[in-house]
Structure 1
């Protein structure tokens, strides 16, 4: 499910302050990148058995190279997904998400925006 109206979609930012700003908001990039794309995840536990939610923020390089650390990243619309063990994460609009989860996602994304906004282009 897309999280709209966050102010993040389309922002341009250098990779290093983006990494730092998302790390400070508890998002993890880990090995989720290639030369042209980055993906950050924020994990949210659930009282439901074998269900975990994720807030995902992705971006792609419009200049430079992610591997070299000199990329300028354009952010995409954040999404919320539901992980079904052992099958994987579903991000589709047909998924249902509790209202408190959506509020938590919006709050986390507001923190991200506050962390990175001073560094956007």
Structure 2
């Protein structure tokens, strides 16, 4: 018997985005992730040492449109940046609760 609120299936997708030099590329990926059947999307190799959200907001003049949770790890050297997007309808047990206003010591969400 399935418990209420527990998904029978879980789908995650991981993409190597080969950098986010163009701020509109991030918004295109966010739009794709919102339409994707995946509950969690991992965007690898963002090549951003700083917070992706702060950078994109400065470049676009507005916050990127994403209503779910997100977690960002800036990384080091040539392996810079992994952004994890979690759809609003997805509940991850044990996941830290954070919002765009809570940042870790290196700019990542929930550090």
- Global fold match (TM > 0.5): no
User: Which structure shows the bigger proportion of residues in strand conformation?
Assistant: 1
Question: If the TM-score is normalised by the length of the shorter chain, which range does it land in?
Answer: under 0.3
Where relative contact order (Cα < 8 A, 6+ residues apart) is larger, the structure is: 1
User: Which structure shows the bigger proportion of residues in helix conformation?
Assistant: 1
